[in-house]
Structure 1
Amino acid sequence: MKITILNTTLGLLTLSLLVSSCDWFGGGTESPVTANIRALEASERELVHSSSQFALDLFQQLRKNGDPNQFYSPYSIHQALALAMNGNEDEVLEEFKNLLHYEGMELENANRAAESLTRYLLELDPKVRLAIANAIWYRQEFQVYTPFKDTVSKYYSAEIAPLDMTNPQSVNVINGWIETNTNGLIKDMLDAIPSNAVMYLVNALYFKGEWKYRFTSTNTAPFYPSPNREVQVEMLQYDEPANLRGYAEGGLHYLEIPYSTGHYNMGIIMSQEHDLDDKMESFNLEKLEFWRENALEQNLILHFPKFIMGYKIENLKEDLQEMGLNLVFEPSTRNFTKLFDHPTEPLAISRVIHDAFIEVDEKGTEAAAATVVEIFTTSAGPQQPRMLRVDKPFVFFIQDNHSGAILFIGQLGDPSQL
Structure 2
Amino acid sequence: MTAPEAPADPALLRERALVALTAARARTRLLTTCVDDAELTAQHSPLMSPLVWDLAHIGNQEEQWLLRAVAGREAMRPEIDSVYDAFEHPRAERPTLPLLTPAESQRYAADVRGRVLDVLERTPLHGAGPLTDAAFAFGMIAQHEQQHDETMLITHQLRRGPAALTAPEPPPSKGLPTPEVLVPGGPFTMGTSTEPWALDNERPAHRRDVAAYWIDTTPVTCGAYLNFMADGGYTQSRWWDPAGWAHITEHGIRAPLFWREEGGQWLRRRFGVTEPVPVDEPVLHVSWYEADAYARWAGRRLPTEAEWEKAARHDPATGRSRRYPWGDADPTPAHANLGQRHLRPAPAGAYEAGESPYGVRQLIGDVWEWTASDFLPHPGFVAFPYREYSEVFFGPGHKVLRGGSFAVDQVACRGTFRNWDYPVRRQIFSGFRTARDASVEEGAR
Whichever structure has more helix as a proportion of its residues is 2
Bigger relative CO (Cα 8 Å, ≥ 6 apart)? 1
TM over 0.5: no
Whichever structure has more strand as a proportion of its residues is 1
Q: TM-score, normalised by structure 1?
A: 0.27
